[in-house]
Amino acid sequence: MTAKLIKGTEIREQILEEIASEVLELKEKHGIVPGLVTILVGENPASMSYVTLKIKTATRLGFKEIQDSQPEDIAEEDLLNLIDKYNNDDSIDGILVQLPLPKHIDEKKVLNAIDPDKDVDGFHPINVGRLMIGGDAVKFAPCTPAGIQEMIIRAGVETSGAEVVVVGRSNIVGKPIANMMFQKAEGANSTVTVVHTRTKDLAAHCKRADILIVAAGVPGLVEPAWIKPGACVIDVGVNRVGEKISEKTGKKIAILRGDVDFDAAKEIAGSITPVPGGVGPMTITMLMKNTLKSMKFKLGII
Ligand code: GUN
C-alpha cells in the first residue's frame, strides 16, 4: 500500500463535531436550531435506509428533524402542496425530497417546487445557476460534490493548476463537481476535463489526471494502468455487486464495489478514497452543513 487513504468516515466525524458546536453556539445566541424535513414517498428499501441515516445524523446534531413519509400512490398535487407547506414554515431551513420518486410523479416539477432558499440538496435550477456563477453567488452546493471537494481540501491535495479529470456527467455529481473545480476558489482553480460514455480514449485522459474523480457507476471501470503515479483518486461509485452476511449483525448486507480497481490502484495513487467509507459518508454530512448554512442565511449572519 503506497497511497494515503482518504477516509470519509474520519472526515465526517470532524465536520459533524464542527457543526454540533456551531449549532449549540447559535442556539444560545439566537434561541433556534436548524430545521430539516425529509420527505419520503413509498417504501424503497435503499431510500428508507438513507432517510433513517439522515434522521439519525440530524438528531445527533441537535437539529429539529421531521420525517414526513407519504404513501407510494400520493397524488403529485398533494406532494406539491406538502412542499408548499414546508416552504412557508419558518422553522424549516431545509427540505429534502428523497429520490427516486414513483413513476407517476414528475421529479423535475417536484424539485422545482422547493423554495431555492431551502433547497439543501442544491438541485433547484436556481441553485445550479448560482453554482455556475460561483463565488458569493453560491448558496447550496449539491452534497456529494461538496463532500468530494471537502475531502480533497482536508487531505491537503493541491488543486490550484492541477489537472482534474471527471469521469461521468450526471446532474448530481459529474456536472457540478467539474464546475466547482475550475472556479476561482479554495480547493479549486483546477484545469478540468469531463469524460463520458462517448469519449474516444478514456484511458488517455485519465492518465493525465493529477486528481481523478470517478462517478460512472460502472464497477471497476478505471484500471490501474489509467492512474498517474501519485495522483489523488476519488471514487464516487457505490455499486452493489452481491450480498453477504454481516459479521457484526448477522444480517444480509450488500457487497459494495467502487468504479476503481481499488486494490491495484492504491499501489499507484498518491491518495485514494475507499469504497465503502470514502465519499459515501460525506453526502449526508454536507446535507447537515447546508441545513446549518440555510439557517445562518435566515438569521442574516452570512
Ligand atoms: N437519492 C440518492 N441520493 C440522494 C440525494 O443526495 N438527495 C436526494 N434528495 N435523494 C437522493
Q: pTM, whole model, 2 decimals?
A: 0.96
Report the pLDDT value the prediction gives residue 292, as an integer from 0 to 100: 98
Determine the average pLDDT of the residues in 38-52. 95
Say what the pLDDT of residue 104 is.
Answer: 98
Task: Report CA torsion sign: 145, 180, 235, 158.
Answer: negative
Percentage of the chain lying above the pLDDT 70 cut = 100
pLDDT, residue 47, reads 95
> What lines the ligand 1 site, CB under 6 Å?
96-99, 121, 143, 283
DSSP string over 10-79: HHHHHHHHHHHHHHHHHHHHHS---EEEEEEES--HHHHHHHHHHHHHHHHTT-EEEEEEE-TT--HHHH
Output the pLDDT for position 278. Answer: 98
Ligand 1 atom 3 nearest Cα: 99
Per-residue pLDDT tens for 273-283?
999 999 999 99
Question: pLDDT tens across 3-18, in order?
Answer: 999 999 999 999 999 9
Residue in 49, 57, 79, 98 to alter for ligand 1 test, most ligand atoms within 8 A of Cβ: 98
Is the model's pLDDT at 203 over the cut of 70?
yes
Nearest Cα residue to atom 11 of ligand 1: 99
Q: Is the pLDDT of residue 1 over 90?
A: no
- Identify the band that residue 56 occupies on the pLDDT scale cut at 50, 70 and 90: very high
The pLDDT confidence band at residue 133, using thresholds 50, 70 and 90, is very high
The minimum-distance atom of ligand 1 relative to the CA of 287 is 6
Res 156: pLDDT: 98
What ligand 1 atom has the least distance to the C-alpha of 172? 6
Asked if 261 is an active-site residue, the reply is no
pLDDT in tens, 77-102: 999 999 999 999 999 999 999 999 99
- Helices in the chain by DSSP H: which ranges? 8-30, 45-60, 76-87, 107-113, 125-133, 143-154, 174-182, 202-207, 262-265, 280-299
What's the rounded mean pLDDT across residues 238-267?
A: 94
